[in-house]
Structure 1
Amino acid sequence: MTTNLRALVPLLLAAALLLAGNGVLGTLVSLRGVEEGFSTFTIGLISAGYFIGFLTSCFHAPRLIRAVGHVRVFAALASVAGVGTLLMVLTVDPWVWGGIRLAMGFCFSGVFVVIESWLNQASAPAERARILSLYRVVDLTSVTGGQFLLPLWSIAGFELFSVAAILFGLSLLPVALTNTSRPTPPAQFRFEPRKVFLLSPVACLGALSIGLTTSAFRMIGPVYGVEVGFNTGQVALFMNAGIVGGALLQLPLGMFSDRVDRRLALLLATLGAVAAGVFLNAVTTPNLIFVGAFAFGAFAMPLFSLAAAQANDRAGPQGDFVMIAAGLMFFYAVGAILGPLGAAALMQTFGPSALFAYTSTVHGAMAAMTIIQMLSRAPVPRAARSRYVALLRTSPAFSRLANRDSDGPSD
């Protein structure tokens, strides 16, 4: 079997349009909320709604796909996302926005299940690494590129919402017009978070901590930028600095973790995130804040992939990688629901500096738990470890694509 890479271009293009629209919208919602006078905690509540919908869809989208197929589910969910985006302009109300963001979290998680399960089936083992690399490049370039749309129009207007809705609408075209044969619907993911926690407590705590901190950075970070005096362009640079930092350090940290006790790599990355948060608390000039954001992303963003690699090591060569991915996604999503709420409440009370005091506290607690685990539990022998894979936090379906050589036939 060989992969027809040309047949995958429509899926990757659809993913690019969705990621670009979702990237700009996530920042835009926070900035427009500030413009409309929403409290920081209210913006945190709206952000939490997105992750509630995201978590729900991770485990229900496969049922929808089995019922009506990939293309229909993609079309329905992308359409709802576009409608929801326009409704946010027509009805500027925090409760309405919260409900819309919950629905949009469900939609985006669902469309990523569609794309990733489709890519999984269509990719041959010999081409899998190339497809994974392309997908990660699409993710990085689309999300960072989307941020730079923000300075082009006023936050107070309707244009940016319209641009996001246009991107969601355009994403329908590559999927609807592709002549790829209908793929087989994905299997239902096994959902056993307790079993995954017992398998590797440090991995689950790592997923929880990354949910608590990076969701706060992504959703409340724009509010922080406004409160420290950034204009819209500077907010976009601030957010992109963290994203690019995380992308650049993924591979070096992963390679390091393959050579040492994986928990040591987790510990060092976590301590790096603590240091970056402390640095951001101490600096006030824009350029130094951008440097701090880059460092924070560089150490915090790879933690999910490191945690997944640690859990997969404990699972053994025949481990159920998708069950582990679903369990870790659960812990990540729980953290992502609570993270914006906690960070927003602290910022509302103590000011913008509380955001990175919060992230440093969470990461410091994670570092302490990692040390305890290292002292109380022997490391996995090097020969028994799985290889490190940089994961996207989009859906458990991505884990099947990333670990397909070890996980057996695809669905």
Structure 2
Amino acid sequence: MAEQSNKFYSLFFSVFFLFAGFGLFLNSAGVELSQMGVNNTAIGILNAAFFIGATLSAVVAHRVVSGVGHIRGFSVFGAIFAIAALGHTMTDNLWVWGVLRVLLGFCYYSLLMIVESWLVERSAAVARAKTLALYNVVYYISFTAGIGLLSFKLSSHDIFTLAAIMVMMAMLPVTMTGSKAPEQPPRQRISLPRLFAIAPLALVGSFVAGLLMNGFFTMASVFLLQQQFNVRQISFYLMIAMALGFVVQLPIARFSDHFGRRSAIGICSVISAVGAVTGIVLMFMGIQAMWIHYVTAVFFGIGLFTLYALSVARANDQIPHEMSTVEVSRSLLFSYGMGSLLAPIILGLTMDQIGRYGFYGYFIVFASILAVFAWRQQAVPEDRRSMHVNMPATAAGPAVADLDPRNDCGVTRPFDEEEAQAYANQIVQEQETAKPEPEPTV
């Protein structure tokens, strides 16, 4: 039993180095390109190339793994990732870098899918809530560690070399394991139009969360570098947001359990928008100090990091609790991924067209849109709500949906779109019926 437990937790060794490498690469990519004199639009497109690779992974990685197995597949993806990372050191051609980043995104999310598949199978004998909680802790610690490496002012050569080393470190526990490989995970079933009809706020919330979260991580360093701040200050700015994002997870979860996901999504969106407004106002006033951006990092940390988990909880509230939510979670993760893909492109264009105010302007617009959309939705009664679960999205793969403990107890039926739609309609009808009749005017 102890041996199995050690093998189980050794997988988090892989996850730690994957997340740390991802955090370093995602936040350093814009800095390196900006220092090379590349414009914001081109930086956004190159950052988006990483998420194009992530999308391809969702389509192709299953076929590779089914053909060669999990362990060999992990070795293949790890080797290609290392080659693509080191390939950046051999040329400054942006077209080549674009192709290499597609490969990096494809391999990273394929590696994550394999590790998560193992975690899902290993957690069958223990509480999945504990596994997912540990997964969240590892994510925040390792991602923050990756960001912290920026403060050492690494060269481009060092960054890509270190990213390759981290992936090779992540390969060790997987390639050396003596345990049986997990079963092939099922292909994702995506039904966005039906899901929008059932839980529109969940789908829109996950999409906007992708726009905001990955817009923040891919372009914040570019924005601050262009405001003449150094890499160490940028690293501290990102770490403030990560730390606050971790701290507020439990309070926001409890708030949403009591007051509803709609209220929580709306308030978190407003907090994000207020932070961006604060940054713009202080910049308009001519204040150039770094502390004003640290203040916005606090607002962003509180407001942005819970939006995806709240969206998943909202979707779970609107389907029967005895029904599996895995397909819904995968659809929301796909929606989040589409937002992540578009975020650096839209934000890069915005920063080029509007200038120094474009970065915060982007967050004001999309956070406000989500707040208004949430306000217009019906609340779900407290007795109809599911449990809230913190779900990492920024660096999570598709298999993380299978770790959701909401599918552990009492789930007896697979997801059925028509039944879920009828249940959502029933909630709306109950809410309409519960509204007091207007008093007649005399």
For this structure pair, what is the TM-score category when the shorter chain's length is used for normalisation? over 0.9
**SS state of the match for residue 366, structure 1?**
helix
Residue of structure 1 in register with 2:253 after alignment: 254
Residue equivalent to 1:402: 404
Alignment of 1:149-298 (within 5 A): 149-155=149-155, 157-283=156-282, 284-298=288-302
Q: Which residue of 2 aligns with 1:356?
A: 360
Please say if residues 125 and 405 of structure 1, whose CA atoms lie closer than 8 Å, have aligned partners that are also in contact: no
Write out per-residue CA displacement over residues 59-84 of structure 1, whole angstroms, 9 at most, x where no aligned residue.
44333333322212222112211111
8 Å CA contact 1:21, 1:164 repeated in 2 = yes
The match for 2:374 is 370
Q: Distance in 1 between matches of 2:134 and 2:252?
A: 20
> Within the alignment, does 1:85 sit opposite 2:85 as a pair?
yes
Residue aligning to 1:123: 123
State whether residues 322 and 413 of structure 2, in contact with CA within 8 Å, keep that contact through their aligned partners in structure 1: no
CA distance in 1, matches of 2:26, 2:390: 23
| SS of residue paired to 1:328 | helix
Deviation at 1:153, TM superposition (A): 4.1
AA partner of residue 168 (structure 1): V
Per-residue deviation, residues 119-170 of structure 1 (Å, max 9, x unmatched): 0110145432222222111111111111122232443x41222111111112
Q: What whole-Å deviation, never above 9, does each CA across 1:279-328 have from its counterpart, x for those lacking one?
A: 12233421231121122122111100000000111121133322111211
User: How far apart, in 1, do the equivalents of 2:52 and 2:95 lie?
Assistant: 15
**Matched letter for residue 404 of structure 2:** A
1:146 aligns with 2:138: no
Q: Distance in 1 between matches of 2:12 and 2:125?
A: 18
Query: 2:323, 2:412 within 8 Å by CA — same for their partners in 1?
Result: no
SS in 1 for 2:392: coil
Residues 8-47 of structure 1: per-residue CA shift (max 9 Å, x gap)? 2221001111111111111221111011111111000011
Matched-pair contact (CA < 8 Å) for 2:324–2:413: no
Q: Which moved more, 1:311-320 or 1:12-21?
A: 311-320
Query: C-alpha offsets along residues 172-201 of structure 1, whole Å, 9 cap, x if unaligned?
Result: 111111222222221222121222111111
SS in 1 for 2:84: helix
Unaligned 5+ segments in structure 1 are none
Whole-angstrom CA distance in 2 between matches of 1:94 and 1:245: 35
Moved >4 Å (runs of 4+): 406-410
State the TM-score, normalized to the length of structure 2: 0.87
Pairing of 1:2-81 with structure 2 (within 5 A): 4-81=4-81
Distance in 2 between residues matched to 1:327 and 1:409, nearest whole Å: 18
Structure-2 separation of matches of 1:314 and 1:243: 30
Residue 305 of structure 1 is matched in structure 2 by 309
CA radius of gyration, larger in: 2
Check the 8 A contact 1:203/1:308 in 2, yes or no.
Answer: yes
| Structure-1 separation of matches of 2:190 and 2:118 | 21
Q: Distance in 2 between matches of 1:408 and 1:79?
A: 41
Kindly indicate whether the alpha-carbon contact (under 8 Å) linking 2:275 and 2:295 is maintained by their aligned counterparts in 1: no
Q: 1:90 to 1:292 in 2, by over 3 A?
A: same
Tell me the CA shift for residue 238 of structure 1: 1.3
Amino acid at match of 1:214: M
Distance 1:109 1:154, change over 3 A: closer
- Contact kept? 2:324, 2:412, Cα under 8 Å: no
- AA paired with 2:292? L
User: In the alignment, does 2:348 pair up with 1:344?
Assistant: yes
Q: Secondary structure at the residue paired with 2:248? A: helix
Question: How many percent of aligned residue pairs carry the same amino acid?
Answer: 28
Q: Is the 8 A contact 1:144 1:243 kept in 2?
A: yes
